[in-house]
Amino acid sequence: MCIILTPRRLITEEIPSVVNEFRLVAKDAIEAGFDGVEIHGAHGYLIDQFIKDQVNDRIDNYGGSLQNRCRFALEVVKVVAKEIGDSNPEALGLYLANCLSKCGILFCHMVEPRMITAWEKEESSQSLLPMRKAFNGTFISAGGYDREDGNKAVMKGCTDLVAYGRLFLANPDLPNRFELNAPLNKYNRDTFYTSDPIVGYTDYPFLEDSI
């Protein structure tokens, strides 16, 4: 028997207890032996629902203005950081890369923190270089790369491979387009992670279809 629950808006008084749940889960993770935790604030999950004005139609202190919509996310970050926050994330990443290499792991895939916003990126392609040097297997970087800066990152030895997400979604023949240096389809962010209507996943044209 499958029970389907209809989502509902949290009442204001419930929010502190939800924030505290993030703190407790982070605390439990560390006690269980994890080195750190990642706060997931994207892809339509709860934090993302508070942040995005297309979804958040609240009229309390957690809705409306940009500051209000970010309030829940910042409250979660503050309690988690206070509970288990790491004081040296670079040292943590380097230690993990070394340990993974000793385990004989074939590849390590990390995200380069290059994105300021969804459309603006900063040049920080060296930030993963210490981890890349510490790991003996194949090192894969992601982080808003295009054809040009992806090639540069590989040529400079910053990474072995570059992973593409949004560009691959909008261009099912991305390797062929990169090889020909052909124009790319623009991805439509409004169709990401939607179930109705089902568009934006298999309906982007191939190169031969768009000529």
* pLDDT for residue 209: 65
Name the nearest CA neighbour of 122 among 140, 143, 148: 143
- Region 4-23 average pLDDT: 91
Query: For a pLDDT cut of 90, what percent of the chain falls above it?
Result: 45
pLDDT band at 147 (very low <50, low <70, confident <90, very high): very high
* pLDDT for residue 87: 66
Domain range summary for the chain, segments of one domain joined by + = 12-84, 89-210
Residue 211, classified by CB atoms within 10 Å of its CB into exposed (0-12), middle (13-18) or buried (19+), is: exposed
pTM for this predicted structure: 0.57
71-91, pLDDT tens digit by residue? 999 899 889 888 886 767 678
109-113, 117-121, 207-211, range with the lowest pLDDT: 117-121
Give the integer Cα–Cα distance in Å for 74 and 165: 27
* pLDDT for residue 112: 78
Q: What is the DSSP letter of 206?
A: P
CA quadruple 46, 25, 140, 49: dihedral, nearest 10 = 10
Give the integer Cα–Cα distance in Å for 6 and 40: 22
Average pLDDT, the chain: 86
Q: Could you say which of 45, 62, 164, 204 is catalytic?
A: 45
Provide the 10 A C-beta neighbour count for residue 141. 26
- Region 54-63 average pLDDT: 94
- Region 86-101 average pLDDT: 79
Provide the 10 A C-beta neighbour count for residue 152. 14
Query: Is 45 an active-site residue?
Result: yes
Helix ranges (DSSP H) in 61-206: 66-84, 89-102, 129-134, 147-155, 166-170, 174-180
19-37, pLDDT tens digit by residue? 999 999 999 999 999 888 8
- Region 60-72 average pLDDT: 92
